[in-house]
Structure 1
């Protein structure tokens, strides 16, 4: 669904796609048993995704979807900015809020889905709140890894998720300008290394706050969730091994992924 916004040809197309998504969610939430059509211009895959929403809304609160859309709106704001001083991620708090919108929502949706699948799994209200709180933190951690890995690619696309207030001096601010305006330059690569390392360390902080909650998921879901989390955090460790070099997209080799999977399965 986010591809409808991310891959739009211009700002107007992105906003139109977002309006359609918002309208569909609102209509489905207010009339979950009704039929709500999607534009014929959407691909079959996109229309199929929309058709998954009605059953999901039976057990996932609609506010999780509306908050996710707030993240999409932030992405669109980049294209309206004349320069980086108008970018939406001005502070570290802005970055955390963005991560909550685009990733913590997905984490909480996953938690709601596991509870629905394991309807016999007793979860007290207090426990639910605790798990959801930690799912929020884990979502922040994983999205920070995404941001660290994709700094240069995002800059090529006119987006910068590094908080501008991390640049304390005129020289550091010039580095961020260079990163956005000339992302393939040596100066941009240097800035990307510095900030990718800081982002991974920030991700580690949130991960450490959240990781204990994985064992509070239904037993059938723990290993799958831990595998997904460990692969993401493994990408962060790979960024650290490369001293923050994200000039090429950082990923894990098949052997690295297999090692993580074996550790999770036989822990």
Structure 2
């Protein structure tokens, strides 16, 4: 039978999860400034576990090692849902969050499936296939965060998935060179073919150019379409969370504009959003605004399974842990969580955090 952790252990776990935010999450921290301190704890728990998941797969080295790491993660998710999390701060915090907020297991399982696709070196023939990947590694996180904020309405969840997918596409557009140097390629293969780019030749010698810039621009245009679809869902969030979520969207969309300003070169240059610009976007996010229309748009076909999973897992199905395990408040959106699922540790790995 699981042994309930002590109050000091919970405090230590929360501190460890918060430290992972401070260590490499400048954009997340910037958006979180708009929130009261109490709402951050559940986000920290989800962030820490998702970051741990990404790191375990990414640091496994060989393809065989990465696949084995995915299998270990699947077991850790199962243990968290059984109320017997692995002996790690991120696992214990994650178990508390999913229990307290009735997060169906299908959502973190979708995230792990996306990491498995990475482990196998999967490529994506079309934009639709790329959306299926984004739904897993980013849409799932958007849905989990919405649940932690107490939002379970299918239309609002669909918009949260849109935002997660938009941010993932922005990541891909920004990290083309970084990914290529690790042997990874996420740009739709049919778009590359239309642009006259051979995928294997590009991976062997990744270089910027007008043809590649055109493909990146197409991907950013799709991301912008999804940001627009996501906007009406922000109005359905708790009022005190809306500025932070809107800031997350604005800052990430600005990353895409920085890629464009670099001439679409995300091979030799890394798009950044400076501090002054982030502050301006934070102020813009905090300004009152009327709710736009479009909440009831159907979900992307690739994210529909996430919304259906929540519909079949009502709040009363939540397994409650002891009251002191109840992480109070709601949560900021996963701005940097999505980013960290695509980046590597600053200075010690290939990517450099903005």
User: What is the TM-score when the length of structure 2 is the normalising length?
Assistant: 0.62
Q: Give the one of 112, 131, 152 matched to 1:96.
A: 131
**2:124 touches 2:188 (CA, 8 Å); kept in 1?**
yes
In 2, the alpha carbon distance for the partners of 1:167 and 1:225 equals: 33
Q: Tell me which of the two structures has the higher relative contact order, counting C-alpha pairs closer than 8 angstroms and 6 or more residues apart.
A: 2
**2:85 touches 2:95 (CA, 8 Å); kept in 1?**
no
**1:152 touches 1:179 (CA, 8 Å); kept in 2?**
no
Q: Give the one of 56, 76, 86 matched to 1:37.
A: 86
Residue number in structure 2 paired with 1:10 = 62
Change (3 A) 1:36 1:205: closer
Structure 1 or 2: more helix by fraction: 1
**Alpha-carbon deviation of 1:8?**
1.9
In 2, the alpha carbon distance for the partners of 1:109 and 1:36 equals: 18
Q: Give the one of 160, 176, 182 matched to 2:205.
A: 182
Residue number in structure 1 paired with 2:175 = 150
Per-residue CA deviations over 1:138-196 (Å, capped at 9, x if unaligned) read 11111000000001110110010011111345x7142x33321101x3xx444432221
Q: CA RMSD in A?
A: 1.7
The count of aligned residue pairs is 233
State the secondary structure of the residue aligned to 1:155.
helix
Q: How does 1:38-57 map to 2 (within 5 A)?
A: 38=87, 47-57=88-98
Per-residue CA deviations over 1:198-248 (Å, capped at 9, x if unaligned) read 111010111111211111101111011111111100111112222312221
Q: How does 1:53-72 map to 2 (within 5 A)?
A: 53-58=94-99, 59=101, 60-72=103-115
**1:197 touches 1:243 (CA, 8 Å); kept in 2?**
no
State the secondary structure of the residue aligned to 2:263.
coil
Q: Give the one of 262, 274, 281 matched to 1:253.
A: 274
State the secondary structure of the residue aligned to 2:184.
coil
In 1, the alpha carbon distance for the partners of 2:230 and 2:180 equals: 29
